[in-house]
Structure 1
């Protein structure tokens, strides 16, 4: 059996169903230490425990998703001397720290690279960082494929 592909959506909070919005409130209360138990939190917001447990593992605040410290980036690079070196230099200049690199053997002038980067000390936003990578000469594609 294969794992189902996960899809993520960015949704305005004012159009969320009430049970989803209440689940978010319960998670905030638990994280902030305002309550000691799930029972106490769901009672306060008027949500059933079963609804909370149904949704809790699939709801994340947008800023939590963007603040992860380790990011895995997939690149499609032209196979020319110095391209990967420029990518590594850019990452370092922006405060990133490369943790792992995996490159395939280039085929038809293109190399695929997967790179894990510690983003804890990044000096620019994640969006600007990714845009900067995309703009480097020889980088055909750069996209985030994972966060950890």
Structure 2
């Protein structure tokens, strides 16, 4: 995780905290949509979309324990198996896998992971998955 920092929120713009609060409202079902969430916390939709995948609240007890990654896979036999093997080799545990039906021979995959026992960083895992022939757009969606 060499590209991430833990920073006291008092040093950051108030917008970041509001983005986290808006995401919590959405995730907890306290609002019906993004427009309602951003209005309630007092930020623009543009600010929300700009930072929603970049700003996360840490919790000391579970920091770096769970992650969600997304990627695209070519619809060919064995590629998903290689990805799952790579995750297993890193000692991460798969919590959920969501795979969409391939369109134009490309499938969208989202995997949530438990990183508690992982022996390398999430960045290393993502870079290793990127190297698998048939994968593309490998991205860290969220981490806690």
Q: Please give the range of the TM-score, normalised by the shorter of the 2 chains.
A: 0.5 to 0.7
CA distance in 2, matches of 1:132, 1:59: 24
Of Structure 1 and Structure 2, the greater helix share is in 1
Quote the offset at 1:59 in angstroms.
8.6
Partner of 2:10: 20
CA RMSD of aligned residues (A): 3.0
Q: What is the TM-score normalised by the length of structure 2?
A: 0.58
Q: How does 1:47-86 map to 2 (within 5 A)?
A: 67-86=63-82
CA distance in 2, matches of 1:86, 1:97: 15
Larger Rg: 1
Structure 1 segments unaligned to the other structure (5+ residues): 1-9, 22-57
Which structure exhibits the higher relative contact order, with contacts defined as CA atoms closer than 8 Å and separated by 6 or more residues? 2
Q: Does the residue aligned with 1:140 lie in a helix, a strand or coil?
A: strand
Structure 2 segments unaligned to the other structure (5+ residues): 12-54
Q: What is the TM-score normalised by the length of structure 1?
A: 0.56
Quote the offset at 1:67 in angstroms.
3.8
Partner of 1:145: 141
Partner of 2:126: 130
Q: Does 1:109 align with 2:105?
A: yes
CA distance in 2, matches of 1:88, 1:139: 12
Q: Does 1:95 align with 2:95?
A: no
Cα 1:127–1:80 change in 2 (3 A) is same
Per-residue CA deviations over 1:10-69 (Å, capped at 9, x if unaligned) read 78x7xx9xx925xxxxxxxxxxxxxxxxxxxxxxxxxxxxxxxxxxxx8967xx6x9421
CA distance in 2, matches of 1:119, 1:110: 27
